[in-house]
Amino acid sequence: MNKLLFKNFEIIDPSQNLNSIKDLLIVDGKIQEISHSLDISDVKIIDGSNKTLIPGLIDFHVHYRDPGETYKEDIKTGSEASAKGGFTTVVMMSNTNPTIDNLGALIEQKKIIDENCRIRVLQTSSVTIGRKGESLVDIDLLSKNGVVSFSDDGDVISDPKILDQALELANKNNRTILEHCEDHGLLNDGIINDGSVALRLGLKSRPKSAEISSVKRDIEIAKKNGRWVYLQHISCKESVEIIREAKKQGVKVTAEVTPHHLYMNELWTYGEKGELPSWIDLGAYDTNTRVNPPLRSEDDRLSLLEAVNDNTIDVIATDHAPHSRGDKLNTFDSAPAGINGAETAFVTLLQLVEKKELSLQKIIETMCNKPGEILDDILNLKIGKIKKGYSADLVAVDNNDTTKINEDFFISKSDNSPLIGSTMKGKIKMTIFNGKVIFEDKK
């Protein structure tokens, strides 16, 4: 019998009304007991004086680039980076090369996961074969073989009939479609938010209307036919308002936002950490801020925060999208879209706690409790909560320490982050998966 006792922590989990409970006992990878004081002999003890213990983070949206672009990331390095960031469970998108769209590819991917991962790595399938938006994959077969849900992430499903059919089949299997909400017909090859920054830099704008149109259509389909749909990386105020109204009407819609859309606005494109420079160099920009959907206005950012706080947005997920330095060392319109977020997501959100824009409890709800409940419903996983009988997936945080983000900080293969050069309050000291310490910061 393997035992591990965490003592003198501030244990926090809003789903269980835990706040400042001190001790937690793990037996054989499961949470056995939670109490103000536990005195147990013959057990390894981890002392947590001045540290906080929260549930292991769950990331519903990562790109590990495996297979196809493993020079950017692979399943091993991606899962290690996620573990360092406090994540004990992740959901991989299927826009690999080739895409995961059949049972053979899924079985091969599971072998790689089993051989290389110390965290729980779950796989999606694409919705359509080859992500071409034309013919559906075998949703029944792939569901029976453990696919979490289905996504053509990177591309919206343009045909509403195909989307509705996919939702019907996925929902029948207690799964859903993770929708990339951007109408390609309205993007106009845009790469940056439609606003003053685009005008000053002379860059082609990527209008909000592309997202708004997609969100509105997907919700109408869900409402009309009683479907459950999951909307990825919501980025603007108008989308939030549509989702908020839909939820009031009882539409089953799950909404996701990324840490970078909560923390940054379009001014970060200048590479000035969100501050408008006193002088404008028309060639000055940081390609690490190029992401789809783009960083939006400050008004949009604040609307997203409001939506997280009032439960309009359910899940915070990283959309971890690693790219090599060579890929990003390019013109803004030629650089690939994506931000490396696995290792920086949680500490970034802690800065919003410092600014009183979010609470730690709300971060736990959206990065642990709610995604854990979704996965529990789909795969019968007992994760995302500090609760007796649940998997002992935990994160120890030191709120008094600091995290310095430089090029040497990343254990991911890539470091495409606009946060390089930042010093943030708070630090992840330890990640525990199934009762085993899989990451420890010893500095």
Residue 273: per-residue pLDDT: 62
Same domain, yes or no: 15 and 75: no
Residue 386 lies in a domain: no
* Proportion of the chain above pLDDT 70, given as a percent: 97
pLDDT at 329 over 90: yes
Residue in 406, 312, 393, 357 with CA at minimum distance from that of residue 119 = 393
pTM higher than 0.95 for the full model? yes
- Residue 204 sits in a domain whose CATH number is 3.20.20.140
Instruction: Say whether both 26 and 100 belong to one domain.
Output: no
Domain range for 430 is 3-52+393-412+421-440
**What percent of the chain shows pLDDT beyond 90?**
93
pLDDT band at 275 (very low <50, low <70, confident <90, very high): low
Q: Give the model's pLDDT for residue 41.
A: 86
Please check whether residue 261 lies inside any domain of the structure. yes
Same domain, 253 and 342: yes
Same domain, 194 and 294: yes
Confidence (pLDDT) at 299: 98
Q: Domain check: are 309 and 364 in the same one?
A: yes
Confidence at residue 443, expressed as pLDDT on a 0 to 100 scale = 76
- Does 319 qualify as catalytic in the annotation? yes
Whether residue 47 is found in the same domain as residue 66: no
Distance between CA atoms of 360 and 267, rounded to whole angstroms?
A: 26
- Confidence at 145, pLDDT banded by 50, 70, 90: very high
- On whether both 125 and 20 belong to a single domain, the answer is no
Is 430 found in the same domain as 368?
no
What is the rounded average pLDDT of the residues 74-91?
Answer: 98
Asked, for residue 105, whether it belongs to a domain, the answer is yes
The DSSP output letter for 369 is I
- Position 271 scores a pLDDT of 78
Query: How far, CA to CA in Å, does 144 sit from each of 150, 333, 347?
Result: 13, 41, 37
Span 398-406, mean pLDDT?
Answer: 96
**Is the model's pLDDT at 324 over the cut of 70?**
yes
pLDDT the model gives residue 274: 57
Clarify whether residues 109 and 143 are in a common domain: yes
**pLDDT at residue 386 greater than cutoff 70:** yes
* Over residues 138-158, mean pLDDT: 97
Average pLDDT taken over every residue of the chain: 95
CB atoms within 10 A of CB 223: 16
Catalytic residue among 319, 327, 393, 415, which? 319
Residue 385 domain-assigned (yes or no): no
Q: 280: pLDDT confidence band, cut at 50, 70 and 90?
A: very low
- What is the Cα–Cα distance from 268 to 274, expressed in whole angstroms? 4
Q: Contact 77/411 with Cβ under 8 angstroms? A: yes
Q: 48 and 60: one domain?
A: no
CATH number at residue 435: 2.30.40.10
Residue 384, domain member (yes or no): no
Average pLDDT over residues 205-229: 97
Q: Is 60 exceeded by the pLDDT of residue 409? A: yes
85 and 38 in a common domain: no
| Residue 219 within a domain | yes
pLDDT exceeds 60 at position 281: no
Q: Does the structure show a pLDDT above 60 at 276?
A: no
**What confidence score (pLDDT) does residue 279 get?**
47
In a domain, 263, yes or no: yes
- What local confidence, expressed as pLDDT, does residue 216 receive? 98
φ and ψ at 300, to 5 degrees? -65, -45
Beta strands in 87-220 (DSSP E): 87-92, 120-123, 177-179, 192-193, 205-206
Report the pLDDT value the prediction gives residue 235, as an integer from 0 to 100.
Answer: 98
pLDDT at 1: 75
As a whole number, mean pLDDT of residues 259-287 equals: 76
Residue at 387 is within a domain: no
Domain count, the chain: 2
326 plus 179 within the same structural domain: yes
